[in-house]
Structure 1
Amino acid sequence: MYRFLQLIGSPSEIGRYLASMLQRVKSPFRSSSWEHDLAFLAECAAIIRHTHSALWYELASFADAFDAPAERSLFLRAAALPQACSAVAWQHSSGQVFVGRNYDFYINMPTRDLLATHSSYGYKHIGMNGGLVGGRYDGINEHGLFVGLHKVMADRQEHLQPGVPFHLLPRLALDLCTSTAEVISLFRELPQLSSFNYTVADRHGRFARLECYPGQPIGVLEADTLLATTNHFNHPDLSPLQGRRPLSDSKAREAFLCAAVGHEYGDPWLQTAQTMSDHQIPLCCHKEFSSTLWSGLYELTQQRVAYSFGAPCQVGYRELEF
């Protein structure tokens, strides 16, 4: 169920390799009508081509291997949307910058790939993909930049304008950016298709929570020293868009993360690991429809990275060569 894939080469080489390793699957969830509207997807594709043309050729090469229109590559493997994900970024008194990130979703989610990418058209990075071609759900690049996504269950827009799919935004950032400030500038230029939060942290200890909703300017909440992100909007311009949905669980996880690393004790790497393995709220989940499928630990200053393929309380973290 968990795989480690190395992506090396040109856009067409990586696209064809992914096509040889992946199988098309249908989403078990109701998809939006625009995901099958080729004219709409063509306008979305134009945004990708303008922003990062090489990534578009990678996606198109994948689609070509399946005899699918290139535009369908934007959602060719729409397996599922993440529902409950947590992340904390904090700077230790030593100056080191740490990030912990749990990805929680339906336990039967079929695709869980760790991708090490050394392409000819973007910064080297390592990160996870949950089933949507070309995307990254979290990861770190060679400049010590971390980006991770978090689904927000907000009200749906009745009329949607073309934009960038949620899973490609972290990929664009990891490929093109070296700092939190650069990611903020990039996201401000790109129209959004979905309601998501994004955790951004760099090795200099600059953190941002980017809150995105279709048709709205992104909400930027910057922080020094400590930042936690879960699955609700905090920005005053966006929080009304969540309607009457319960937010207590998401807010409890956010508060717990801030408290857990708000004071230092012992080894900060182990402190972050213990935080992401905690069951008090819980951060580490074991429910059928909210299970921790993977967890990542990152030290951005020295580009140290480890992943737990499953609940970290049971599996533990495996440190990887960047």
Structure 2
Amino acid sequence: MTKPWRVDVLECRGSSYDVGKQLAAAFLKTTRGRAYARRKERRPFAFSLRNAEAALETWAPNVWEELHGLADGLKIPIERAVAEYSNGRLRYPPRGCSAVMSAGLYGRNYDYDVRHYDRILVAIEPKGVHASVGFSDRFTGRLDGMNEHGLCVGLHQVSQAASRPGLVCILIVRIVLDQCATKREAVALLRRIPHGQSFNYSLMDAVGSAAVVEASPAAVVVREGEQLGCSNHFPSPSQQAFNRRNPGSYRHLPALEKFARERLSADRLFKALNDSLSPVFDHRYTTGSGTMHTIVCTPAERRLQIGVGGDAMPSTIDFGSWVRGRPLGLEALTGQLGGTAKPFDPGRRVIVKSEGPAKVFIGTRLDNALFRDVTLANASFANVSLAGAKFDDIDFSNTVITSNCNFNGMQIAGVGVKELLAAYAQRRPEEQA
């Protein structure tokens, strides 16, 4: 089956307060907005309004003004607006993201939980800061986007394990879009900002200068180059302590770097990222990490190709024309979760825990996955592709393989599965007893 997917497109101009009120008015016209208006307020908000105000007044005074417009438009107290739509809370559900920066193009997939995704693409032109277009998170935050100067930025979660008081990821992306015009300016700002958690930030500007900023609560490391890939871990040796166990990130990065080396056209890069059979397209919608949207930006032209879900027909946005006063000409982006070749299936589970520690792997691709120092005792595999997967220091006791599994090139402790099976078949009778 497929699941239709729709993302609303909003356009806001004026003062930051006006932008907040316009966002609220547009949101309240949607089905989710009407449901929100009926929802009861939840207290306590478990944060300090004074601290939140101080942080925003220091780093993003325009966002503080926008929050007041949002609060008035939604008819809620400013405390609730800050708690739900700003820097009031630090912890966010895990998310996965991929980016390619090469040949003057910035391409990106955003993978997240269907339940927490805003489903809003917003173009804003507030007075006093740069105009930008990007995917909203909690209205005032951004997941990724491009501003009027052609600067592109996206976030990539690494870990929540170590955190400290600081700014949240979605606000950091928004501040970069609002205040920076070049990669150099963005890197300088990201070095100064207090980072609450560990994230990568992928960057490219209008002249094609690109960087990945590895930002942890302890340090900021910058990787620059003409052909870059970025996923959800820190490659730099000095930042390894902040990485979490994330096989998907390590599996995605080589494919992203390959796309970068190939210097693809905008159309080909979009397909490489958005094809539902792509090695970097994520189908884990039921476990909170399915591909929500794909963007490919041409910063020099202030142009974006955008699609939602998988196997999308991209919509093109001429953001330069919008800044000059023309409308985007889009009310919504539509598509489907998953794709035509491999549609979304709410019954599919990448890993489903059954009774006890046993794991059941059903109907998924784990190609080139690395399993190390974990137990797969009593696990079962069915309709799974493990082509090229590697297992080391694994407990396989009582593991069951049922049907339709692909093991081409898979290795256990450095030995191919075919060789292991051949050796097993040639055992002496006393060994088989």
TM-score range, shorter chain: 0.7 to 0.9
One-letter amino acid of the counterpart of residue 275, structure 1: A
Q: 1:1-322 alignment to 2 at 5 Å?
A: 1-22=6-27, 23=33, 36-39=45-48, 41-64=49-72, 65-69=75-79, 71-72=82-83, 73-75=85-87, 81=93, 83-91=95-103, 97-130=104-137, 132-157=138-163, 160-161=164-165, 163-214=166-217, 216-223=218-225, 225-242=226-243, 245-264=244-263, 268-278=265-275, 282-288=279-285, 289=287, 290-311=289-310, 313=311, 315-322=312-319
Greater Rg, structure 1 or structure 2? 2
Task: Tell me how far 1:74 sits from its aligned partner.
Answer: 1.7
| Partner Cα separation in structure 2 for residue 287 and residue 241 of structure 1 | 24
CA contact (8 A) 1:122 1:176 kept: yes
Task: Tell me how far 1:183 sits from its aligned partner.
Answer: 0.5
Task: Tell me how far 1:297 sits from its aligned partner.
Answer: 1.0
CA contact (8 A) 1:150 1:231 kept: yes
| Partner Cα separation in structure 2 for residue 155 and residue 119 of structure 1 | 35
Tell me which of the two structures has the higher relative contact order, counting C-alpha pairs closer than 8 angstroms and 6 or more residues apart: 1
Considering only aligned residues, what root-mean-square deviation do their CA atoms show, in Å? 2.5
One-letter amino acid of the counterpart of residue 123, structure 2: A
Task: Tell me how far 1:247 sits from its aligned partner.
Answer: 3.3
One-letter amino acid of the counterpart of residue 125, structure 1: S
Deviations, residues 180-237 of structure 1 (Å, cap 9, x unaligned): 11011111111012221110111222111112222x12221122x1111110112222
Change (3 A) 1:120 1:200: same
CA contact (8 A) 1:82 1:104 kept: no
CA contact (8 A) 2:145 2:154 kept: yes
CA contact (8 A) 1:261 1:271 kept: no
Counterpart residue number, 1:30: none
Q: Structure 1 vs Structure 2: percent identity of aligned residues?
A: 27
Change (3 A) 1:187 1:45: farther
CA contact (8 A) 1:63 1:76 kept: no
Task: Tell me how far 1:280 sits from its aligned partner.
Answer: 5.8
CA contact (8 A) 2:13 2:125 kept: yes
| TM-score for both structures, normalised by structure 2 | 0.63
One-letter amino acid of the counterpart of residue 185, structure 1: A
One-letter amino acid of the counterpart of residue 139, structure 1: G
| Partner Cα separation in structure 2 for residue 89 and residue 258 of structure 1 | 9
| Partner Cα separation in structure 1 for residue 17 and residue 198 of structure 2 | 31
Deviations, residues 87-128 of structure 1 (Å, cap 9, x unaligned): 10102xxxxx10111011123345211101111121111111
CA contact (8 A) 2:52 2:88 kept: no
Change (3 A) 1:78 1:145: same
One-letter amino acid of the counterpart of residue 107, structure 1: V
Change (3 A) 1:9 1:78: farther
One-letter amino acid of the counterpart of residue 5, structure 1: L
| Partner Cα separation in structure 2 for residue 146 and residue 187 of structure 1 | 14
Q: Residue 38 of structure 1 aligns to a residue in which SS?
A: coil
| Partner Cα separation in structure 1 for residue 263 and residue 153 of structure 2 | 24
| Partner Cα separation in structure 1 for residue 147 and residue 308 of structure 2 | 20
Counterpart residue number, 2:362: none
Change (3 A) 1:50 1:262: same
| Partner Cα separation in structure 2 for residue 299 and residue 78 of structure 1 | 32
One-letter amino acid of the counterpart of residue 151, structure 1: Q
CA contact (8 A) 1:82 1:150 kept: no
| Partner Cα separation in structure 2 for residue 270 and residue 11 of structure 1 | 35
Q: Which residues of structure 1 form unaligned runs of 5+?
A: 26-34, 92-96
Deviations, residues 240-283 of structure 1 (Å, cap 9, x unaligned): 122xx433321221110111231346xx1122112213456621
Q: Residue 261 of structure 2 aligns to a residue in which SS?
A: coil
One-letter amino acid of the counterpart of residue 60, structure 2: H
| Partner Cα separation in structure 2 for residue 321 and residue 299 of structure 1 | 10
Change (3 A) 1:79 1:60: farther
| TM-score for both structures, normalised by structure 1 | 0.84
